Structure 1
């Protein structure tokens, strides 16, 4: 049975902001801490439960599986302000919020009043993990930020100090994580931070900062890549985690994400959803109604999946003019476990379902995280969502090695090779990849070069495929300085004009694209769309989901960072706005 963890988080959040309990009313947190709180393991647990609200949640873009819409990795009938170059400098807010940090620092100033050494080590590690997590997001969004490791009062002059360098802040982040790793025990938890969660975050941060500095021309990046490698190696060699697999390459990947309770062999930390005590998430509703923007995978992602034999799909001259059934046949099995392809059925049902263009604007109908029909209502999904999983660690390891120029075939065998093996795909060859870099992948990452160019492109392909819909894409793009990839055309399936289409190749017409008036005597089971109104096609007969947004721009000298709000610059004159905002 799943533990009611989100409910505890919700209760603890009241502890911070609006405590109605008589005990807390009589003893505000600023008072109880010194004399009557932080004395027991239960006190420390109760306080730190509130920190979990920092993790991705079930609202709007906060949902893990919708986050990729921000960068166009999931296409909707509207685009984000990033994709449309419509971001502005806000007057306030805009992510420049320090309340959570104050709560964390307050805990770290008081938790050692507890006499329980084991509890202090565990929850001190939890707090430092979340301070690192908080600051990592601030650095990703704003670059240089002021580092605060104490609670700040209104008259504290440090409150108005200038920003510290991103390297200084990241070094402090890694110090916090190293403390957590050294002091927390070897116990693993599905829904709580552990030593292994701290290692996973260190692996992620080291890779982000190392590659960000490398591709943005900041010297000293190597130590961060090495930090990622060392954290990844410890998880790979001395942790209880491996890749989830039952030996069924046609379903294991999909099953990982639709499991009611996290597959803890691979998932290091998950967001838990439990009914009826708390709302679930909306993966089913998101992909199976027309009111959620009709999300779809873009063709550029589909094109990135290899053929089942390991050859490159885009090496075929006609890869852009294949029917849907033909282009999705004999591909990396993760494709058919992420979108509807021929033979797709819902869990617990036997009726084969083709892509439904009523619910997907590109024709590539998402199925990742989708469960049985009894969860199709709003916020009815109760399958866990992974925040950290072992697969990402393997990808981090492989990429950090390749970016440092030290990657060997053995490194690929124990990282990318394991991911490919789960779905019965051939491993990447270091020699072959570097001898023949993929021109299609180069289109997205033109600044990659050197002797390891081909291998780096293959690792980025693997990352895009393996982590699709898990919220990593925008952070990857900005650390790789690949913002121009956001301006490339957004396209869907190939439809050579008006006509009748058997999308899944089972002999029945699924889709009718018509011109003029709606045809009479309609085909049972087929969906009808008017060409030029319901569906628009590009010059090469690919669905053009957003023809009004084909001329998009990205400002390389501005758009990788967010602007500091106007009000903050006025309150603290030592702050300097990010470039070109």
Structure 2
């Protein structure tokens, strides 16, 4: 399914014709304190009929919350800056990771605007005169959107108030304490149960809109997040009293079981294309791709395009793949680099990718890869990473992002590379992890999930016994199977924005506090003349072992300054604490 930005443009134009909606939005944005303040009393049911068209327009505006290409933004591919997968040139890219977060006076993500608008819809849609078959999909969308925004809030703040009705300015609920995150998680999952019931099947959905499978995949994401949070944060200030992680793991499994058993979605197969994995991310049309659940389409004819490929093709936009990510890829014999005789070392990038999981060479640039293709002819090839461009464009590590690049993109007229929003690989990985957490991940489960992803790139299958012990596992206290499922998740979803949430829910962010490094600099000594002359290559910082160290001269020289006693959650803004004395600040921050 696709989401056309043209729909959003039409919404912007058409919304002006629906003054009532504009009035609602302006009213709702006027006061931060009254979190669920309803529209003014003068806006009545007589003015808003909740017709099918009005419902569609109302829901359309929330589609902009999906992370996609926008202007010169690299979309999902930049989100992994906030993790150990990529190294941003700004050590303070994510304040929680960097350890620089402070209690804000206001804002700070404590924003209820979207939820307020959704609650108004859900409290009033019953007045519609339309047939249920026409409007149920939009009602289902609104339950999805409330779950979407509440999940973001829960990840940031943990315990929350639960608002599911428009509240008056003096409603007692506005001054209540926060309730346990487990109750919030249950409420989110209940909203998604409603969404799944009301949304149409994929084949029956209007082109470009949410459908049942998207809600099911998102439900598994929420359930897996809360299950692992409750399990791995148990006994810490962020734990849940009386937590029941297995209950959430079973919900994650149940959300996906029908989708996986139906085989309605398929992962690309070995031999389909030499770079089938990478090419998934540089298509302009994914309508017939059996792996994609939801995507966004761009169209120059509709004046809807972006310029992300300008940065993809030239640099990493002040970021680069980390040495840690690169070292996580297995060798072609199915063994990690610590154990495999096939590993060639990391003296050069050519050595790094030799005999490795093909997804590595399809995720980062290697010598000879096309940079620019015009009319089928390769006019520019990759030789050295763009480490010497101006600071906002440069590659930071010597490992330059290739995943998502379309060398044939038109850099002058605007790019129309599609954005993937939900894909089946996540469903397989969520299912495998939840089953492993329950102790139910046998060979049948692995062959249905992880090994489907490995088959695409002709990697050896993962067995339930694993068959080795990696001395460099990030989580040595866990089973080999869980370590390898987590490795597979990191590799398959690399640079797609999942890693930060994974580290936070696993209570593992403080475990990966290591220097953020890149490639060995020595390999470029003989070809310095190929670097852009803006910066002398000798000025690129390196550590004592000769690895590029972008933050060698910053406070993050030895790794992020993440505080495990505070930074697993964000602080509540001081203004909200003052307005509502019943609120308590999150652990590690002063009240």
What interval of TM-score do these two structures reach, taking the shorter chain for normalisation? 0.7 to 0.9
Judge conservation of contact 2:227–2:248 (CA < 8 Å) in 1: yes
Residue 375 of structure 1: CA displacement?
A: 3.8
Match of 1:561 among 562, 566, 569: 569
Contact 2:333 2:340 in 1 (8 A): no
Distance in 2 (CA, whole Å) between partners of 1:212 and 1:26 is 39
> Counterparts of 1:100-499 in structure 2 under 5 Å?
100-114=114-128, 115-188=130-203, 191-217=208-234, 218=240, 219-238=243-262, 240-245=264-269, 247-262=271-286, 264-275=289-300, 277-278=302-303, 280-289=305-314, 292-293=317-318, 295-315=319-339, 321-346=346-371, 347=373, 348-350=376-378, 351-358=380-387, 359-376=394-411, 380-431=414-465, 433=466, 435-442=467-474, 445-446=475-476, 448-449=477-478, 453-496=479-522, 499=525
Tell me the SS of whatever aligns to 1:430. coil
Query: Measured at CA, do residues 14 and 144 of structure 1 come closer, stay the same or move farther in structure 2, by a change above 3 Å?
Result: farther
CA distance, structure 2, for counterparts of residue 230 and residue 63 of structure 1 = 30
TM-score (norm 1): 0.87
1:403, CA displacement in angstroms? 1.2
Residue aligned with 1:167, SS:
helix
* Deviation sequence 1:498-548 (CA, Å, 0-9, x none): 731xxxxxxxxxx32xxxxxxxxx5xx565664541x22222221112202
Quote the Cα distance in structure 2 between the aligned partners of 1:138 and 1:255: 34
2:503–2:509 contact (8 Å) kept in structure 1: yes
Equivalences for residues 9-20 of structure 1 within 5 A: 9-12=8-11, 20=16
SS of equivalent residue, structure 1 residue 562: coil
What is the 5 A alignment of 1:8-157? 8-12=7-11, 20-21=16-17, 24=20, 30=39, 34-58=45-69, 63-79=75-91, 80=93, 81-114=95-128, 115-157=130-172
Report if aligned partners of 2:3, 2:294 keep a CA contact under 8 Å in 1: no
Unmatched 5+ stretches in structure 2? 26-38, 235-239, 388-393
**Count of residue pairs the alignment pairs up:** 545
CA distance in 2, matches of 1:84, 1:28: 39
Tell me how far 1:436 sits from its aligned partner: 2.6
Kept after mapping to 2: 8 A contact 1:109/1:150: yes
Q: Is the 8 A contact 1:75 1:298 kept in 2?
A: yes
Could you tell which deviates more after superposition, 382-391 or 319-328?
Answer: 319-328
User: Counterparts of 1:117 and 1:152 in 2: how far apart (Å)?
Assistant: 27
Contact 1:83–1:486 (Cα < 8 Å) also in 2: no
- What secondary structure does 1:478 align onto? helix
For normalisation by structure 2, the TM-score amounts to: 0.85
SS in 2 for 1:141: helix
Aligned twin of 2:5 = 6
* C-alpha deviation, 1:53, in angstroms: 2.4
Distance 1:291 1:481, change over 3 A: closer
1:401-457 alpha-carbon deviations (Å, 9 max, x no partner): 1111111011000000100001111111111x2x53322223xx35x42xxx10111
Distance 1:322 1:181, change over 3 A: same
- The answer to whether the Cα contact below 8 Å between 2:277 and 2:359 also exists between their aligned partners in 1 is yes
- d(CA) in 1 for partners of 2:521 and 2:271? 36
The C-alpha deviation readout for 1:273-317, integer Å capped at 9, x for no partner, is 333545534432333456931x21011111111112322223259
**Residue aligning to 1:518:** none
1:495, distance to aligned residue in structure 2 (A): 3.2
Give distance in 1, aligned partners of 2:106 and 2:255. Answer: 37
Contact 1:162 1:575 in 2 (8 A): yes
